[in-house]
Amino acid sequence: MSRPPLDVQIRRIDPEVPLPAYAQPGDAGADIRTTEAAELAPGERVVLPTGVSIALPEGYAAFVHPRSGLAARCGVALVNAPGTVDAGYRGEIKVIVVNLDPHDSVRFERFDRIAQLVVQQVEKVRFQEVAELPGSVRAEGGFGSTGGHSAVSGREGGNRYASVVSDREGQ
Ligand SMILES: O=c1ccn([C@H]2C[C@H](O)[C@@H](COP(=O)(O)OP(=O)(O)OP(=O)(O)O)O2)c(=O)[nH]1
Ligand SMILES: [Mg+2]
């Protein structure tokens, strides 16, 4: 038996916007819509309003995921995918869209479905500082350590990636 759905309070900021909805019964994501029309040139990004705000129970978060159809057909991605909507956030949910197509503009009409909201339970952790972490098979291997990245091998020899990683250390 599947669990009953979680009730989540939602407020319409735009009175005409259809509520987020699952397109099919087994879907993980409920489609959300833009309340503003927009046209994005190649490479352009925009923050689109969805006309809704929600109140998630403590211990949950909603993740703003891209729609694969828009990605495959038009090259549309979410800059921060997946966006995180915190349980305490009461503002309008927004979607940061980018047109990754190198040639064509993409146009959204009012109430087009632009993303999908996946609601999940999330753990709250207490970070406990230690001098040494327990061992593991992977140890410190990452960033392609298991191989199979021939598609990006041209960049692996350069130092661009290494400097990006080291810039972030200590922050
Ligand atoms: O795609 C997104 C991502 C975030 N948010 C809203 C809900 C979230 O709770 C809030 C803050 O998001 P996040 O923590 O990712 O952004 P931040 O840059 O860390 O901002 P803040 O300092 O407000 O936490 O913005 C959205 O509406 N859409
Ligand atoms: Mg934050």
Q: Report CA(137)–ligand 1 centroid distance (Å).
A: 35
Q: Cα(first)–Cα(last) distance of the chain, in Å? A: 46
As beta bridge partners, residue 85 has 62
What pLDDT is attached to residue 3? 85
For ligand 1, is residue 62 a contact (CB within 6 Å)?
Answer: no
What pLDDT is attached to residue 87? 98
Q: pLDDT tens for the chain, 171 residues: list them.
A: 678 999 999 999 999 999 999 999 999 999 999 999 999 999 999 999 999 999 999 999 999 999 999 999 999 999 999 999 999 999 999 999 999 999 999 999 999 999 999 999 999 999 999 999 999 999 999 999 999 766 555 454 444 555 444 445 444
Domains of the chain, CATH where assigned: 9-121 (2.70.40.10)
Confirm if 10 and 32 have CB atoms less than 8 A apart.
no
Q: Report CA(161)–ligand 2 centroid distance (Å).
A: 25
Which is nearest to 64 in space by CA: 4, 20, 16? 20
For ligand 1, is residue 85 a contact (CB within 6 Å)?
Answer: yes
